Amino acid sequence: MARPQTKSAGATSPKADPVPTSNRERPAEPKRYEASKEELLEFYRQMTLIRRFEERAGQLYGLGLIGGFCHLYIGQEAVAVGLQSALDNEKDSVITGYRDHGHMLAYGIDPKVIMAELTGRQAGISKGKGGSMHMFSVEHKFYGGHGIVGAQVSLGAGLAFKHKYSNDGGVCLAYFGDGAANQGQVYESLNMAELWKLPIIFVIENNGYAMGTAVNRAASEDQLYRRGESFRVPGMQVDGMDVLAVRGAIEEALQWVRAGKGPIVMELKTYRYRGHSMSDPAKYRTREEVQTMKDTSDCIDHAVRELEAMGVTAEELKAIDKDIRQKVAEAADFAEQSPEPDPAELYTDVLVGTY
Amino acid sequence: MAIELKMPALSPTMEEGTLAKWLVKEGDEVKSGDILAEIETDKATMEFEAVDEGTIAKILVPEGTDNVKVGVAIALLAGEGEDASAAVATPAPRAEEKAPVADATTPHQMETGARELVADVARAEKAGADARDPEIPAGTEMVKMTVREALRDAMAEEMRADDRVFVMGEEVAQYQGAYKVTQGLLDEFGDRRVIDTPITEYGFAGVGTGAAMAGLRPIVEFMTFNFAMQAIDHIINSAAKTNYMSGGQMRAPIVFRGPNGAAARVGAQHSQNYGPWYAAVPGLIVIAPYSAADAKGLLKAAIRSEDPVVFLENELLYGQSFEVPKLDDFVLPIGKARVAREGKDVTLVSYSIGVGVALEAAVKLAEEGIDAEVIDLRTLRPLDTETVLTSLAKTNRLVVVEEGWPTCSIASEIAAVVMEKGFDDLDAPVLRVTNVDVPLPYAANLEKLALIKTDDVVAAAKKVCYR
């Protein structure tokens, strides 16, 4: 059964359930990031942008303007924002699955082209041909946007292979869910990544449910941060509802990987408030469970409390909120009003070359 | 009486080999399991073990001898208590050089339908049935080369020219390739660029595809394409669809290569032609060469392509020799079929090893007064329908020859294209000569029955010519 998390630090501490002692070097216990007011405000802004964007996407879906599958990131915002804030965007790469809107927004990519992709318009970042699940920004070293559960993990190992091959100093962040954590290719990738000391961070976004299946109904070892141990890949478990805990953990992970010590697994304990996709009524968990998480563990509320403690006023936050609401409204309008792709686009981009 | 030690067959299709080295000398006593000699084929060096105990009475074939036929006596072994010199004085009857006797103690050629396919290729090549490719400039010096060497040279040349190109796969580096296609690459390019992977097809196909997305030019070798079924998700979902899904932003310039189709007596799970599978997928280039020249020119083109390429080789062709142009940079166009033999009465369309069968059938048909044109498709996607239709307009009759299953095959596709675009040129229905529609059986007689045969092609061609 589902196990609602009751404290704001949603993760169970690794110390409570230790892995067998090992004489191998392990990364140090991560420390919570000490953000400046400006940094935390920026995290707040990004998380709120993702939340409002996703809420609007949910509305547009309800209006029939977004089709097919649409997987919202609401509840999990602290993960993408905390992790990606630590990357060097000049050299590090990111790849994820189909719940990808938040990761794009965390790069500061224009919400308009993301929303326009959701509505299948020419102005969308994939010219309307990818949709919710297939968005990419090679310019930002964001490699998608993949619809087959787990595929992004071995593709991510390939991105890391390139970092190593070209000796460009980059690290790949490969996100996947607790569901994908049971896919065979994840373990094939862990094995190769450790064998070849690839610069990759395996990021497990554990939101508690693989579609409708609770983690402990699908995973014999539900402490997913341990999943790399038999490949000698160390793991850390992180409170994914706390953006500063996430940021602190990724600092440690990056230090490990950039030092050439090979890959690392990060399990981010998080929670999605909405169904798996827009077509999921989420009958597998109680309303109370969801409400408890929202009331006690929400990443944005958490940041608000800390910002207030730092002396940020309600007016300042309101101004940010207003700005975000306007940006999202503009993105939605743009996405509704942009033209659909030209019919000729049907035949473009199948192959690069002419034969 | 002395026992004759005979040249062994070390692989199902081995006809001859080099006696590289004797590890015993005359007068040595040997017992069962001792290594007597090293025998080399084009693929590998193998050890030849003693089965019986005794004394080496005489070495009949000295070390370093090339082209020693399978079944030929290479040494005499005097049995226990037997005088070695007497054994030599009264040698056993000479072994028949042809058709070695099939008893339990005599090495003999394994029975397989694959040998017929290979023999067709060899006969067709010997008969000069394969026309010169117009892509090769007139007067170009030609050198004999096996398909295996041509593929290796193609990779090596591209790796020398472009640091982004690397090879990964099972046994490609230290072992020098399960089928020796990557022989020598590790020595020249080192382990940064020639990478042994664990047996983990799904995973390393994904790693290769990811590396391609990031800008490298991976060559992923599958030990055979049968194992690529575990990786087909990345070939199709990740590599083939990425450019389209990203609106042209993200590419996957990768080559997936390895042997495809039936080999010799390896049973159902190791004998399948995936040409039709991959050729069905938009976003992929699919190449299936027949000759060594095409293998080289097209593999170089595949490595340079910005698109993902499935490059289907054929194990039975690896050891076959063809004329290859001696050019510094021989690259062939993707998507162009080749008229392998010109004719006017009937068009035989094929690809990969089927081309050898079609060419041999054309030689037989010529003896019966039927002049067959043979088209080697070379690329299965995009399909060069123009060359097929042009030939049909000349011959008005068409037979497709495919070493693969008939249902939803390349042959089916050609038949559909000809119906749609060449109907008025047809004087007879298009016929398909394919393998039998069953999993490939192991038993030698059944395997022979299941594979395509020259006689079936001849019969089909005569039928469409109403002869």
Give chain A's domains with CATH numbers: 35-339 (3.40.50.970)
The tally of domains found in chain B comes to: 3
Quick one: B183 and B251 in the same domain? Answer: yes
Least confident of B122-131, B269-278, B373-382: B122-131
What's the pLDDT band for A36 if we cut at 50, 70, 90? very high
Confidence (pLDDT) at B368:
96
Question: Are the C-beta atoms of residues B279 and B383 closer than 8 Å to each other?
Answer: yes
Quick one: B355 and B397 in the same domain? Answer: yes
Quick one: B349 and B451 in the same domain? Answer: yes
Residue B129 is assigned to a structural domain of this protein: no
Confidence (pLDDT) at B8:
85
Phi and psi at residue A218, in whole multiples of 5°? -120, -20
The reply to whether residue B207 touches residue A189, judged by beta carbons under 8 angstroms, is yes
Distance from CA of A9 to the nearest CA of B (A): 35
Residue B311 is assigned to a structural domain of this protein: yes
- Which CATH number does the domain housing residue B180 bear? 3.40.50.970
CA atoms of A42 and A198, how far apart (whole Å)? 31
Question: Are the C-beta atoms of residues B318 and B146 closer than 8 Å to each other?
Answer: yes
- The full length of chain B comes to 467
The reply to whether residue A350 touches residue B248, judged by beta carbons under 8 angstroms, is no
Residue B131 is assigned to a structural domain of this protein: no
Quick one: B425 and B278 in the same domain? Answer: no
Quick one: B347 and B374 in the same domain? Answer: yes
DSSP for residue B25: -
Confidence (pLDDT) at B261:
95
The pTM score is 0.90
Res A7 pLDDT > 70:
no
Residues of B serving a catalytic function are 201, 270
Res B9 pLDDT > 70:
yes
Quick one: B120 and B149 in the same domain? Answer: no
Q: What are the pLDDT digits (tens) for B402-425?
A: 999 999 999 999 999 999 999 999
What's the pLDDT band for B131 if we cut at 50, 70, 90? confident
Residue B262 is assigned to a structural domain of this protein: yes
ipTM: 0.90
Residue of A95, A137, A153, A185 to mutate, interface with B, max B Cβ within 10 Å:
A185
pLDDT, chain A, mean? 93
Q: What is the mean pLDDT of residues B285-303?
A: 98
Residue B331 is assigned to a structural domain of this protein: no
Which are the contacts of A136, defined by CB distance < 8 A and separation ≥ 6? A125, A126, A130, A142, A143, A144, A145, B242, B245, B246, B249, B250
Question: Are the C-beta atoms of residues B111 and B117 closer than 8 Å to each other?
Answer: no
Q: Which two tokens mark B361?
A: 């059938």
Confidence (pLDDT) at B132:
76
Quick one: B252 and B312 in the same domain? Answer: yes
Percent of chain B with pLDDT over 70: 94
Nearest to A134 among B197, B245, B285 (CB): B245
Res A259 pLDDT > 90:
yes
Cβ-Cβ contacts under 8 Å, B247 against chain A: 124-130, 349
Q: Which domain holds residue B195?
A: 136-325
Quick one: B104 and B144 in the same domain? Answer: no
Residue B410 is assigned to a structural domain of this protein: yes
Handedness of CA A96, A102, A106, A107 (dihedral sign): positive
Q: What is the mean pLDDT of residues B53-68?
A: 91
Q: Number of Cβ pairs closer than 8 Å across A and B? A: 158
Quick one: B87 and B120 in the same domain? Answer: no
In terms of pLDDT, which residue wins out, B83 or A57? Answer: A57
CA-based nearest residue in chain A for residue B215: A162
What's the pLDDT band for A9 if we cut at 50, 70, 90? very low
CA atoms of B138 and B67, how far apart (whole Å)? 33
Domain edge (last residue) among B274, B291, B325: B325
CA-based nearest residue in chain A for residue B282: A350
Quick one: B27 and B75 in the same domain? Answer: yes
Residue B281 is assigned to a structural domain of this protein: yes
What's the pLDDT band for A12 if we cut at 50, 70, 90? very low
**Residue whose C-alpha is closest to residue A44's, from A274, A308, A332, A329:** A308
DSSP B317-352: HHT-EEEEE--SS--PPTT--EEEE--SSEEEEE-T
Quick one: B359 and B316 in the same domain? Answer: no
- Which CATH number does the domain housing residue B409 bear? 3.40.50.920
The helix or strand, by DSSP H or E, that contains position A237, with its residue range, turns out to be strand A235-239
Residue B332 is assigned to a structural domain of this protein: no
Quick one: B299 and B152 in the same domain? Answer: yes
